[in-house]
Amino acid sequence: NNPKLDLLDEVLEQLPKGAKVVVACWFQATAQIIKDHLGRKAKKIDGSTASSLRKEALHSFRQGKTDILIGTLAIGYGVNLKEASHIIFYESPDSSLDREQFERRVLRGDSRHRPTCVELCIKDSVDEWILDRLTAKEKVNSSVIRGLVK
């Protein structure tokens, strides 16, 4: 039982049929858990994805064969995903700069629509703490080093 996967399912069920969704993760292991959960209806790109599989996943997403693309920071740089109507942050990066890179993949100047960003956050979890730090644009690692994590 995973309440965050349940929350992801709820959000996906509420989206219009055919909505193009990028699910952003920080960790490769999390991306794989989501891929295993969603099965064949999703493609995944992370730092270990072979170039040929990466191209196939992007082509499938852009051509409408796949509506869900799961990605780590590997899609945060250099990939344009203007087809996406939604970006769901399953895990937020610990840096506001990395977070902005994810957002910029779908928030493109030449997009024909305004994508929606959704943040999945479990109350009283590390997710909530990271979001507080991102709001303040404070890198999480620097807080850990300074001993601010309890």
What is the pLDDT at residue 37?
Answer: 96
Residuewise pLDDT in 10s, the chain (150 residues): 889 999 999 999 999 998 999 999 988 999 999 999 999 989 999 888 888 998 999 999 999 899 999 998 877 677 888 888 899 999 877 777 777 887 877 776 666 667 888 888 888 877 777 777 766 665 555 555 555 555
What is the pLDDT at residue 31?
Answer: 94
CA distance 83 to 95: 25
CA distance 97 to 95: 5
CA distance 47 to 51: 10
CA distance 85 to 26: 20
Contacts of 121 (CB under 8 A, 6+ apart): 127, 128, 131
